[in-house]
Chains A and B, each alone.
Chain A
Amino acid sequence: MSDRMTIHLSVWRQAGPESSGAFENYTVNDVNEHMSFLEVLDVLNETLIRKGELPVEFDHDCREGICGACGVVINGVAHGPQKRTASCQLHMRQFKDGDTIVVEPWRADAFPIIRDLVVDRSAFDRIIEAGGYVSVSTGNAPDANAVLVPKDDVDRAFDYASCIGCGACVAACPNASASLFTASKIGHLALLPQGDPERSHRVVAMVDQMQKEGFGDCSNHAECEAVCPKGISISSIALMRREYMKSLVSSGG
Chain B
Amino acid sequence: MHSVLASNVPPGRLEEKWDNYKSRVKLVNPANKRNHTVLIVGTGLAGASAAATLAELGYQVKSFCIQDSPRRAHSIAAQGGINAAKNYPNDGDTIWRLFYDTIKGGDYRSREANVYRLAQVSNEIIDQCVAQGVPFAREYGGLLDNRSFGGAQVSRTFYARGQTGQQLLLGAYQAMSRQAAAGNVKMFSRREMLDLVLVDGHARGIVTRNLVTGEIERYSGDAVLLCTGGYGNVYYLSTNAKNSNVTAAWRCHRRGAYFANPCFTQIHPTCIPVSGDYQSKLTLMSESLRNDGRVWVPKNPGDERAPNQIPEHDRDYFLERRYPAFGNLVPRDVASRNAKYACDEGRGVGDTHLAVYLDFQNSIERLGRQRIEERYGNLFEMYERITGEDPYQVPMRIYPAVHYTMGGLWVDYELMTTIPGLFVLGEANFSDHGANRLGASALMQGLADGYFIIPYTLGNYLAGSKMAGVDPSGDAFSEAETESRSRIDRLLSVQGNKTVTEYHRELGSIMWDDVGMSRNEDGLKSAMGRIASLREEYWQNVLVPGDATYHNKYLEFAGRVADFLELAELMARDGLHRTESCGGHFREEYQTPDGEAVRNDDLMAYVAAWEFSQEEHGPRMHAEYLEFENVRLTTRSYK
Question: Which A residues are closer than 8 A to B by beta carbons?
Answer: 1, 15-16, 32-36, 38-39, 42-43, 45-46, 48-50, 52-55, 57-69, 82, 84-85, 89, 91, 93, 114-115, 118, 120-122, 124-125, 128-130, 132-145, 147-151, 154, 157-158, 161-162, 164-165, 188-189, 192, 194-195
Contact = CB atoms under 8 A, between A and B. Distances in A.
Contacts of A162: 161, 163, 166
Interface string B217-249: 000000000000000000000000111000000
A196 to B, nearest CB: 10
Given A49-B543, A129-B180, 14 more contacts: A39-B279, A49-B499, A60-B242, A62-B74, A63-B283, A67-B241, A138-B452, A141-B127, A142-B131, A144-B130, A144-B131, A151-B140, A158-B160, A189-B133
B166 A45 contact: no
B72 interface: yes
B505 to A, nearest CB: 11
A48 B545 contact: yes
B131 A141 contact: yes
A102 B307 CA distance: 40
Contact of A63 (B181, B212, B275, B280): B280
B386 interface: yes
A31 to B, nearest CB: 9
Interface in B363-407: 381-382, 385-388
Contacts of B141: 148
Interface in B65-81: 67-72, 74, 76-77
B184 to A, nearest CB: 11
A127 B85 CA distance: 36
A65 B381 CA distance: 11
With most chain B CB atoms within 10 A of its CB, the pick from A39, A137, A164 is A137
Contacts of B77: 62, 64, 66-67
B440 to A, nearest CB: 16
Instruction: Kindly name the residue among B49, B131, B137, B144 whose own CB sees the greatest number of chain A CB atoms within 10 A.
Output: B131
Given A54-B545, A120-B68, A151-B142, A89 B385 contact: yes
Contacts of B451: 138-139
Interface in B124-148: 124, 126-133, 135-144
A125 B48 CA distance: 14
B135 A61 contact: no
B87 to A, nearest CB: 11
Contacts of A82: 385
A61 B499 CA distance: 20
Contacts of A35: 276, 278
Interface stretch (B111-119, B169-177, B336-344, B464-472): B169-177
B93 interface: no
Contact of A38 (B129, B143, B280, B550): B280
Nearest to A148: B142
Nearest to B77: A62
Nearest to A130: B181
B521 interface: no
B455 interface: yes
A147 B553 CA distance: 46
B68 A69 contact: yes
Interface of B: 49, 52-53, 56, 67-72, 74, 76-77, 86, 88, 124, 126-133, 135-144, 160-161, 163, 166-167, 170, 173-175, 177-178, 180-181, 187, 189, 212, 241-243, 275-276, 278-281, 283-284, 351, 381-382, 385-388, 451-452, 455, 499, 501-502, 543, 545-546, 550-554
A132 B144 contact: no
Most buried by B among A121, A128, A138, A142: A138
A49 B499 CA distance: 7
A150 B386 CA distance: 34
Contact of A129 (B130, B131, B181, B284): B181
A125 B275 contact: no
Nearest to A147: B130
Given A66-B166, A91-B388, A132-B174, A141 B144 contact: no
B132 A46 contact: no
A142 B545 contact: no
A33 B351 CA distance: 14
B133 A192 contact: yes
27 contacts: A34-B275, A34-B386, A36-B386, A43-B278, A48-B545, A52-B545, A55-B546, A61-B242, A62-B76, A62-B241, A63-B241, A66-B163, A66-B166, A68-B76, A84-B381, A91-B388, A125-B189, A129-B180, A141-B124, A145-B86, A151-B138, A158-B167, A161-B167, A165-B72, A192-B133, A192-B135, A194-B132
A229 to B, nearest CB: 11
A46 B501 contact: yes
Contacts of B181: 129-130
A33 B275 CA distance: 10
Contacts of B129: 144
Contacts of B546: 54-55
A89 B133 CA distance: 28
Contacts of A64: 77, 283-284, 382
A172 to B, nearest CB: 19
Contacts of A38: 280
A50 B500 CA distance: 11
Given A39-B280, A69-B67, A150-B142, A132 B177 contact: yes
A61 B131 contact: no
Given A128-B177, A138-B128, A195-B133, A61 B71 contact: no
Contacts of B284: 64
B85 to A, nearest CB: 12
A134 B172 CA distance: 11
Contacts of A46: 499, 501-502
B278 A57 contact: no
Nearest to A38: B280
Contacts of A133: 132, 174-175, 177-178
A121 B69 CA distance: 8
Contacts of A68: 69, 71-72, 76
A89 B553 CA distance: 20
A32 B546 CA distance: 29
B226 to A, nearest CB: 19
A114 B388 contact: no
A67 B130 contact: no
A61 B72 contact: yes
B554 A55 contact: yes
A194 B130 CA distance: 8
B242 A63 contact: yes
A140 B385 contact: no
A138 B385 contact: no
Contacts of A145: 86, 88, 143-144
A246 to B, nearest CB: 19
A39 B387 CA distance: 15
Contacts of B142: 148-151
Given A121-B69, A149-B138, A188-B135, A66 B76 contact: yes
Contacts of B133: 134, 157, 161, 188-189, 192, 194-195
Given A133-B175, A144-B86, A161 B72 contact: no
Contacts of A93: 388
Contacts of B499: 46, 49-50
Contact of A118 (B189, B551, B554): B551
A158 B177 CA distance: 20
Give the top 10 A-B pairs by smallest Cβ distance, nearest first: A148-B142, A133-B174, A141-B131, A141-B127, A144-B130, A34-B275, A138-B53, A158-B135, A137-B56, A67-B72
A128 B85 CA distance: 32
Nearest to A149: B142
Contact of B553 (A43, A57, A164): A57
Contact of A55 (B126, B131, B545): B545
A39 B74 contact: no
Nearest to A158: B135
A93 B138 CA distance: 37
A136 B131 contact: yes
